[in-house]
Chain A
Amino acid sequence: MSETAELAPGGARHKPEAGVRPARVALVGNPNTGKTALFNALTGSRQKVANYAGVTVERKEGFVATPAGRTLSVLDLPGTYSLRARSPDEAVTRDAVLGRLAGEAEPDVVVAVADATNLRLVLRLILELKAVGRPMVLALNMYDIAQRQGLRIDLDGLSRELGCPIVTTVATRKRGIADLVAKVDEVIASGAHSGENVWREPSAAEIRGAHREAQRILKAHVRPPEHPDTLTGKIDAVLLHPVAGLVILLGLLFLMFQAVFTWAGPPADAIEAGVAWLGAQVGAGLPDGFLKSLIVDGLFAGVGSVLVFLPQILVLFLFIILLEDFGYMARAAFLMDKIMGGAGLHGRAFIPLLSSFACAIPGIMSARVIDQKRDRMTTILVAPLMTCSARIPVYTLIIGAFIPDRSVGPGLNLQGLVMFGLYASGILSALAVSFVIRKIFWRGAVEPFLMELPTYKIPSFESVLRNLLLRAQIFLSRAGRIILPLMVVVWVLSTFPTPPAGATGPAIDYSFAGIIGHAIQPLFAPIGFNWQMVVALIPGFAAREVAVAALGTVYAVGDAENNVGALGARLADAWSLATGLSFLAWYIFAPQCAATLGVVRRETNSWMWTGVMFAYMVTLAYLASFTVYHVAVALGAG
């Protein structure tokens, strides 16, 4: 709970006064039951999001004031089918319910959230929750859909059978929310005491027993729907069609990819320009010197480099959230599972890897949709191999400088072909690396792929918007905390010490970056890099495209980013073809992005995995550059 992000400035008002402990309510239910919609309907904007101590699972807490004057602290726990936890998220749910979570007290009331149209599996979960012995209220959500289907539920009988009050709700329309709050209030006021906790991990035989019990309860109290949902089946006939389904998926992905580039481009440019303008305004008021340089080139450039990712992340997550809420994400995973599975990846790894073509940061963040830890780690580790948009300026510069612009066949241009080859190398190496990771780290083990295909639902505007804001906030507060300091470090390295009086070379040549560049250049000599390149790689570590500006600095080409032609000509002059190709090969693999490493550290909560990623990427980059350089030299391009 070290990090908190207030969703609303008013959040603090609703916090309990000192000394009065709010009653703790935990929302527990299967995935896709509208639990989060219920949480939002209950708590509105009085929410805060943090992390559970020691794990990367999000802790969502909100506050409700009851008519009786009580304050409820509501915890939205990750969805699960069983208290027998399989993923880190599910373990949090189990531990929170059992009161085992470090720094968390056990809940006073458990609110079991059920999709009224799909009671079978949740009844088994409720039987498990009963064994825990906490006072419970059952919220039958999506009750309007159940009624429309003509599903008859004997609420009184079911309530007697389960030994807990039942409230019907329609969270997306905020119906039944007051009843639910009143019922929770009542349960607390009645001083209902917890029974003895007799829960333990059920054996296969006990799960079967619970199934039979759930089946009996269903038969006794629920009459099957008169008009069962046929829409989902009809939509699936198209979306899961072996051929049409894949075509539609590819179309959707194309649209998403386009949107990330086209929609996010202008706001990203505007943010970049805005921050630069603001930096210049602030800088104008300061005397020339280190303070000005720190603020303008360090802090403002750092803030800009974090904010510039925000539009891409918002567009990407807009698509992901819409598809997830609609119920399509599970279908996409179904369609892609066989293709991804060949390389040892989970079907759900598809979206994160695709996102990484825009930028590895949202890609790595969206790997959260993968519930198996091993599959998620593999996905995170290979995501940066996808050709992100920040590599494009570097590729464009080097290709423009070294690859002749000529046709090599009908409609085939040599430069375009090389660009395509660079993208293809990224994809193929990602598949190969994930295959190797599975062999080395997971000893070839394959996790089972069992996934509910939820009923299709129209996403609610409010919940999409809320979720989107939450993603933005999490990115800014977490990534920013790591990226910003790294930017300042890079600034210090490229600024100090300052050039001596009467120096003729570029300032960076005299800085730590220059000193380091010269010192480690012998390491890079075997792959054909000269010291100017090595020096440019150091600020290029802040973000890949910064390398273009840095090369401009060391080769004293002013405003290199807008003057790629001049810089290219200068490079073509200074480097051999072998060196240019070697530099391209380096950029396919090298972890030249501090922000990505920062996000990997956040998402995996482990320096070890961050280190593994850094090490394997540097190794691959070096080997690839070495091979490319020496083959090119042998062919006479040295």
Chain B
Amino acid sequence: MLADQAVAIEAGATPLSRARPGDRGVIIDVRADHANGHGIDVHELERRLLESGFVEGAAFEVLHQGLFGGDPIAVRVDDMRVALRRRDAEDVWVRLESK
């Protein structure tokens, strides 16, 4: 991870890609700023995430995960359900609610 990115994201934030089923909280930052071999550029990924409802301030809960490697994940974002791969979820930073 880039050093400046680590600084810019507030303490306690974790990427959605590391969340487990049952984890819930709030999305605090959507920033696609690292290239990870996607077929699209990082800004396009950011816009697609935003268009699918992953936007700062949205409440989320990880509902399900796949059998192999826990991938992909199904996430409730506000009042809809979205499936995505963990690699695409790396760019969504969240604050987890303490359980």
Contacts and interface: CB of A to CB of B under 8 A. Distances in A.
Interface of A: 81-82, 84, 86, 118, 120-121, 124, 202-204, 207-208, 211, 215, 228, 232-233, 236, 240-243, 246, 330, 333-335, 337-339, 341, 347, 374, 442, 444-454
A118 B56 CA distance: 19
Given A208-B56, A228-B79, A242-B66, 9 more contacts: A86-B48, A204-B46, A207-B50, A243-B67, A445-B37, A445-B39, A448-B48, A449-B84, A450-B83
A121 B85 CA distance: 21
A347 B85 CA distance: 11
B61 to A, nearest CB: 10
A243 B52 CA distance: 27
Which of B37, B38, B81, B87 is most buried by chain A, counting CB atoms within 10 A of its CB?
B81
Contacts of B72: 334, 337-338, 347, 449
A334 B67 contact: no
A453 B79 CA distance: 11
B88 to A, nearest CB: 4
A155 to B, nearest CB: 19
B23 interface: no
B39 A442 contact: yes
B67 A447 contact: no
A84 B44 CA distance: 11
Interface in B75-99: 78-85, 87-88
B53 A448 contact: no
A369 B81 CA distance: 19
A337 B68 CA distance: 10
Contact of B66 (A81, A330, A334, A374): A334
A246 B67 contact: yes
The 5 closest A-B pairs by CB, nearest first: A445-B39, A242-B67, A453-B81, A240-B64, A338-B68
B11 interface: no
29 contacts: A81-B51, A118-B80, A120-B79, A120-B80, A204-B46, A207-B50, A208-B50, A211-B55, A233-B63, A240-B64, A240-B74, A241-B64, A242-B65, A242-B67, A243-B67, A333-B83, A334-B72, A337-B72, A447-B39, A448-B38, A448-B39, A448-B48, A449-B83, A450-B83, A450-B84, A452-B80, A452-B81, A453-B82, A454-B81
A84 B85 contact: no
A333 B74 CA distance: 12
A120 B66 contact: no
A121 B79 CA distance: 10
Contacts of A347: 72
Interface of B: 37-40, 43, 45-53, 55-57, 63-69, 71-72, 74, 78-85, 87-88
Q: Which of A121, A246, A454 has the most CB of B within 10 A?
A: A121
A148 to B, nearest CB: 16
B37 to A, nearest CB: 6
B50 A211 contact: yes
Given A84-B51, A240-B74, A449-B84, A338 B66 contact: yes
B40 A207 contact: no
B82 A451 contact: yes
A265 to B, nearest CB: 34
B69 A450 contact: no
Contacts of B47: 84, 202-204, 207
A170 B28 CA distance: 37
B37 A446 contact: yes
B40 A452 contact: no
Contacts of B78: 120
A228 B40 CA distance: 36
B64 A448 contact: no
A386 B50 CA distance: 38
B52 A450 contact: yes
Nearest to A202: B47
A237 B51 CA distance: 26
Given A334-B74, A448-B85, A120 B53 contact: yes
B39 A446 contact: yes
A337 B72 CA distance: 7
Nearest to B78: A120
Contacts of A453: 74, 81-83
